[in-house]
Amino acid sequence: LPEWSVGYQEFNESLLTGNPYLWAAASVAAAPLVEELVMRGLCYLRLRDLLGVKWAMLSSALIFGISHGNLVQGVYGFLGGLWFAWLAERFGTILVPVLGHLAANLTVLLLPAGSYGSGALGLEFLLGTVVCAGCMFRTVQVLKK
């Protein structure tokens, strides 16, 4: 999939320029907070009032995917958008999707350069997924108390 998207390749190349610490802070902390405030805090809630839960989840996820601007991130954005909308609905707060989004972005940041999409499930991706799942599981446990 990454090979099919020129926009994704250009995005990855742009990450190699500029201040890596600034990019990391923006993508791991600022982007999840702002994107979740807008997409789940505003967009999803308004669509839910108009369309109901199921269609609001699908619609807001589609908007979230398209907003990422290229095929690869669009697919991941759509799937993540479904997950984040479900988390917002399930827990009644955007804090959980913010944490999930942060964990997802952190996983991508920690993957070695060039390993994005290289193979079905590389060890780095698998470990990152396990760490994110563990963080999400623990977050859910804490919020249930």
| SS3 readout for the chain | CHHHCHHHHHHHHHHCCCCHHHHHHHHHHHHHHHHHHHHHHHHHHHHHHHHCHHHHHHHHHHHHHHHCCCHHHHHHHHHHHHHHHHHHHHHCCCHHHHHHHHHHHHHHHHCCCCCCCCCCCCHHHHHHHHHHHHHHHHHHHHHHC
- Quote the domain boundaries for residue 85: 2-144
Give pLDDT, residue 138: 74
Give pLDDT, residue 121: 46
Give pLDDT, residue 5: 53
Give pLDDT, residue 43: 95
Structural domain total, the chain: 1
pLDDT at 29 over 60: yes
Give pLDDT, residue 119: 46
CA atoms of 50 and 60, how far apart (whole Å): 12
Q: What distance separates the 2 farthest-apart alpha carbons in the chain?
A: 46
pLDDT at 95 over 80: yes
Give pLDDT, residue 69: 83
| Tens of pLDDT, residues 50-80 | 999 999 999 999 999 999 887 877 888 898 9
Which tops the pLDDT comparison, 11 or 82? 82
